[in-house]
Amino acid sequence: MKLLTISGSTRPDSSTKRLLQAFKLSVPQDEWCDAPSLDTLPLFSPSRLAEGKPEACVVLAKAVEDADVIIIATPEYAFNMPAALKSALEWCVASGEFSRKRVIAITSTPNAPRGEKCMQSLVWTLQAMDATILAEVPIYGAGKGIDDNLKVTDPEIQKMITGVMELVREM
């Protein structure tokens, strides 16, 4: 099984990226792949697409195509997913890499109910792309619940990670 992670955060030290790294600890290294950092992708526009997909977008599309399951984890910005994540997904709309791909959507925010509108937006976008959404998982407090050494210190976050990985293993 090939798992792909996509972080909606462009910050190198983000809690969202640490959360995805914590997931990686329970999977053999050869079964896991990280998508390119979203800050390496140009902003999507139809005119740019008409000129041809930039190389970084081709790499992202190939990673999506090769994946059996995709885990997207994102913070919420202004009640929505970050623009960089939305743009990355748009690069894959016309070419259809997400069609029938199994996706686990995760929002990672400090406190409930933050992330709910972001989750709705992410789910709507994935549905428009014909992705198969396996789970919608809100995770709160990952910034404080996962230390810099990727040790999960919050039992609720550990429970969520375990549950998601059990779902993936059942595939």
Residue 133 tokens read as 């959404």
DSSP per-residue codes, 1-66:
--EEEEES---TT-HHHHHHHHHHTTS-GGGEEEPPPGGGSPPP-HHHHHT---HHHHHHHHHHHH
% of the chain exceeding 70 in pLDDT:
100
168 versus 85: which is more confidently predicted? 85
pLDDT at 13 over 90: no
Question: Which CATH superfamily includes the segment(s) 3-169?
Answer: Flavodoxin domain (3.40.50.360)
pLDDT at 98: 98
- Residue extents of the structural domains in the chain: 3-169
Helix (H, G, I), strand (E, B) or coil at 69: strand
pLDDT at 87: 97
pLDDT digits (tens, 9 = 90+) for 108-126: 999 888 999 999 999 999 9
| pLDDT (average), residues 89-114 | 95
